[in-house]
Amino acid sequence: DGYFYQRVAECRYSSKDLQGIEYIDSYVFNQAEYVRFNSTVGKYVGYTEYGVKNAEAWNKGPELAQERGELERFCKHNAPIYYS
């Protein structure tokens, strides 16, 4: 019953080299991922019709700059904690 919305932001650490860090921000509705930001790709990518529309709008707006900053602010800042 009802609807399910989830947003998952994660850092993927592949090595202790800070260049190997990847930031992913996924948006899920009713267990289907509809849009994702990936720092390696550098933009939002939509996986459903609704997600494509969101990705197009967010890639043109201030959301993109904010997401690009999360790799530095969130992932690289917390890397020492992850590796300790």
CATH domain 5-83 topology: 3.10.320
- pTM of the model as a whole: 0.84
The phi-psi region of residue 75 (left if phi > 0; otherwise alpha if psi is between -120 and 50; otherwise beta) is alpha
Phi, psi of 11 (to 5 degrees): -110, 135
Q: 26: Cβ–Cβ under 8 A, 6 or more apart, which residues?
A: 7, 8, 9, 33, 35, 36
pLDDT in tens, 4-62: 999 999 999 887 777 788 999 999 999 999 999 999 999 999 999 999 999 999 999 99
| Interatomic CA distance for residues 76 and 19, integer angstroms | 9
Domain limits of the chain? 5-83
